[in-house]
């Protein structure tokens, strides 16, 4: 047992039910082993709302920590092992640009309902919440896109272009009704008339880990090497990759797919490497799991076991002395929080 492992176990024993540790599936095994709850973005958001622990430690990226901070009670605090764990896709939609785009689109006279992937800042969720919009995850994007279509003339889907296109394919929205929007000049270059002919307006954001690293040629190579294999990819991959694969789905759907596959199956997985390696170990000798590509999220990796140990020891010290922890909690100011919470709660209610 490593020194950090022991320190974390000691801290967990001391804090007992005052502490709960949540971890996203992309965390490294050295961190996941300490998590009380693991899940995809939707499951983690759902679970956080029912927690009663005083200290909630979130091992994931900052948008996940912020969502947790929006959903807990005032007497609870959310901490992360590394507050610098951002998400490159989320950073592609700065809130002032989202605001400007929506203001421009209003000039079309059409009701444009914004739908933000949870991979967005609390500030963006607040802008979306204030415009009657909602959030979605990769697990419920179809339901939430339909929810928004039912409430307006068109939908602005942000920030993930691939998830928007893949979800449009599922709902059968024709190509002619989709437009990728121009977000140059801080969103002021956009032509409001783009909302007149299109049901789905799409933000040009992406996740390099899925969008750039996973290619159709990898799928062709996999099928050539193992003609009997099946291939599952995350819907942040390009539509070409999703169409060439057999199945697409959230990180939890990927896990379930491996669990339900028959013994002896060969499964290629197109998503972040920590999850794929965990599944390779879990099913070793029973099913063959192969990464479509070795693609790692550097931000998820910022949460290390050492940083977790350091954070928990700080919480123990605070707990013993009755003083606030030295670690900075994840906070969202009250004004932002009100509308950002609406944005998240609309999703949680629609997909309960
Ligand atoms: P899931 O909601 O599928 O866990 O995905 C989160 C994410 O950030 C994928 O890159
Ligand atoms: Fe963001 Fe991509 Fe990392 Fe997911 S894998 S947290 S979308 S950068």
pLDDT for 163-191, tens place per residue?
999 999 999 999 999 999 999 999 999 99
Please give the share of the chain, as a percent, with pLDDT higher than 70. Answer: 100
* pTM, to two decimals: 0.96
Nearest CA to ligand 1 atom 4: 40
- Cα–chain center distance at 233: 15
Please give the number of the atom of ligand 1 that sits closest to the Cα of 25.
Answer: 4
Cα 188 to ligand 2 centre (Å): 27
pLDDT at 156 (0 to 100): 98
Which residues fall within 8 angstroms of residue 226, CB to CB, at 6 or more apart?
266, 268, 288, 290
Centre of ligand 2 to C-alpha 86, Å, is 8
Question: In 3-state terms, what secondary structure has residue 88?
Answer: coil
Mean pLDDT across the stretch 40-64?
95
Report the half-sphere exposure of 199 (CA within 13 A, side-chain side).
Answer: 17
What torsion, rounded to 10 degrees, do the Cα atoms 314, 315, 318, 323 define? 100
Question: Which CATH code fits 3-85+299-331?
Answer: 3.40.50.10800
Assess whether the C-beta atom of 120 lies below 6 angstroms from ligand 1. Answer: no
CA-nearest residue, atom 1 of ligand 2: 87
Whole-number percent of the chain with pLDDT over 90: 98
Closest protein CA for atom 8 of ligand 1 = 119
Asked if 212 contacts 293 with a C-beta cutoff of 8 angstroms, the reply is no
User: Looking at residues 1-22, what average pLDDT do you find?
Assistant: 96
Residue 195: what pLDDT? 87
pLDDT digits (tens, 9 = 90+) for 286-303: 999 999 999 999 999 999
Is this complex scored with an ipTM above 0.85? Answer: yes
Which atom of ligand 1 lies at the shortest distance from residue 87's CA? 8
Q: What residue's CA is closest to ligand 2, atom 7?
A: 207
Query: What count of other Cβ atoms lies within 10 Å of the Cβ of residue 252?
Result: 20
Does pLDDT of 1 surpass 90? no
* Residue whose CA is at the smallest distance from ligand 1 atom 3: 250
> Which fold does the domain 214-291 belong to in CATH?
Rossmann fold (3.40.50)
Ligand 2 pocket list (CB less than 6 A)? 61, 87-89, 119, 207, 209, 236, 272, 297, 299-300
206 C-alpha to ligand 2 centroid (Å): 9
| Residue 98 confidence (pLDDT) above 90 | yes
pLDDT at 266: 98
**Mean pLDDT score of the chain:** 97
Is the pLDDT at 2 greater than 90? The verdict is no
Asked whether the beta carbons of 203 and 157 are under 8 A apart, the reply is yes
| Ligand 1 within 6 A of CB of 200 | no
pLDDT in tens, 78-91: 999 999 999 999 99
Ligand 2 atom with minimal separation from the 61 CA:
6
pLDDT digits (tens, 9 = 90+) for 124-152: 999 999 999 999 999 999 999 999 999 99
Give the phi and the psi of residue 138 in degrees, each rounded to 5.
-65, -20
Instruction: Using the predicted structure, report yes or no on whether residue 352 has a pLDDT greater than 90.
Output: no
pLDDT at 279 over 90: yes
Which H or E element spans position 126?
A: helix 122-130
Write down the CATH number for the domain with range 90-207.
Answer: 3.40.50.10800
Burial call 321-347: b when 16+ CB within 10 Å, e when fewer: eeeebebebbebeeebbebbbbbbbbb
Q: Whose CA is nearest to atom 2 of ligand 1?
A: 41
Predicted local distance difference test score (pLDDT) of residue 326: 97
- For residue range 234-266, list pLDDT tens digits in order: 999 999 999 999 999 999 999 999 999 999 999
Please identify, by atom number, the ligand 1 atom nearest to the C-alpha of residue 254.
Answer: 3
Domain with CATH 3.40.50.10800 in the chain: 3-85+299-331, 90-207, 214-291
Q: Is 77 in the pocket of ligand 1 (CB under 6 A)?
A: no
For 222-234, write each residue's pLDDT tens digit.
999 999 999 999 9
Q: Is the pLDDT of residue 49 over 90?
A: no
């Amino acid at each position: 047992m490593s020194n950090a492992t022991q320190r974390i176990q000691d801290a967990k024993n001391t804090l007992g039910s005052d502490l709960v540790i949540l971890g996203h599936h992309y965390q490294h095994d050295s961190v996941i082993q300490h998590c009380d709850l693991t899940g995809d973005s939707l499951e983690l958001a759902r679970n956080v709302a029912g927690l009663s622990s005083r200290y909630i430690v979130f091992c994931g990226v900052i948008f996940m920590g912020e969502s947790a901070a929006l959903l807990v009670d005032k007497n609870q605090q959310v901490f992360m092992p590394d507050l610098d764990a951002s998400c490159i896709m989320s950073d592609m939609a700065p809130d002032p640009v989202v605001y400007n785009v929506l203001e421009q689109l209003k000039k079309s006279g059409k009701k444009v309902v914004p739908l933000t992937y949870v991979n967005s800042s609390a500030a963006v969720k607040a802008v979306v919440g204030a415009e009657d919009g909602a959030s979605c995850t990769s697990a419920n994007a179809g339901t939430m896109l339909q929810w928004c279509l039912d409430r307006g003339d068109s939908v602005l889907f942000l920030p993930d272009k691939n998830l928007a296109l893949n979800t449009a394919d599922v709902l059968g929205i024709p190509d002619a009704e989709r437009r990728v929007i121009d977000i140059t000049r801080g969103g002021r270059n956009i032509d409001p008339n783009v909302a007149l002919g299109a049901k789905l307006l799409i933000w040009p954001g992406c996740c390099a880990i899925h969008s750039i690293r996973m290619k159709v040629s990898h799928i062709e190579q996999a099928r050539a090497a193992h003609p009997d294999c099946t291939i599952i990819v995350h819907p942040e991959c390009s539509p070409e990759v999703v169409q060439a694969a057999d199945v697409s789905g959230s990180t939890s759907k990927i896990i379930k797919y491996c669990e339900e596959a028959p013994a002896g199956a060969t499964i290629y997985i197109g998503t972040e490497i920590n999850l794929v390696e965990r599944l390779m170990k879990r099913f070793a000798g029973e099913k063959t799991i192969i990464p479509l590509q070795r693609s790692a999220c550097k931000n998820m990796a910022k949460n290390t076991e050492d940083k977790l140990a350091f954070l928990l020891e700080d919480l123990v010290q605070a707990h013993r002395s009755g003083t606030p922890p030295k670690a900075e909690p994840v906070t969202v100011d009250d004004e932002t929080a009100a509308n950002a919470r609406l944005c998240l709660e609309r999703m949680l209610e629609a997909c309960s």
